Amino acid sequence: MSMHTGEGAMSAGQVGTGYQVQAAELDSEADKLDAAGDDTAGIRTAVTATQCYTPEALGGSDMGPAFSDYAGAWEAEAKTLSEALHELADRVRTSNRAYGGAEGEAVTGLRAAQSGGGIVAPVAYGERPFPGGISTQPAQADPGTTPSVFG
């Protein structure tokens, strides 16, 4: 995942790029997680309890049950890991879509506010406005002002 800040100086009236999510890179990372999940599912079959081993091949009659226990645990863990990797890939893709949607909404809102087509909250008391008068901070009343309950 890669995030970077916008480059270059801004002049008054410009909307900065700020932090951006590189959607293609997130999709690539999600694909890698899916591939790792597929690989893990394949590795799961490397040791399986259902294969027929003679007691001698396992080291004696008391080794059979120990191997069966080990193989069963191996299969269960490999399955859990494979499923977790696929789930993580899905979550990365979901986050990528959410970031993209939120970024689009923020840019649209800032452009509307900058052009006068939207509502711009006043700058908090005593703060310097962001270039272009855009601020994400909540408006605050001047000291000594009592807010009305009904506006």
Is the model's pLDDT at 56 over the cut of 70?
A: yes
Is the model's pLDDT at 86 over the cut of 90?
A: yes
Torsion sign (Cα): 125, 109, 30, 73: positive
Structure tokens at 85: 């990797």
The domains of the chain are located at 18-119
pTM exceeding the 0.75 threshold for the entire prediction: no
Is the model's pLDDT at 77 over the cut of 90?
A: yes
Lowest mean pLDDT among 14-18, 68-72, 74-78: 14-18
Is the model's pLDDT at 151 over the cut of 80?
A: no
How far CA 122 is from CA of 11, 135, 136, 143, in Å, comes to: 20, 8, 10, 15
- What does the alpha-carbon distance between residue 12 and residue 132 come to, in Å, rounded to a whole number? 5
Average pLDDT over residues 54-81: 84
At 146 the pLDDT is 58
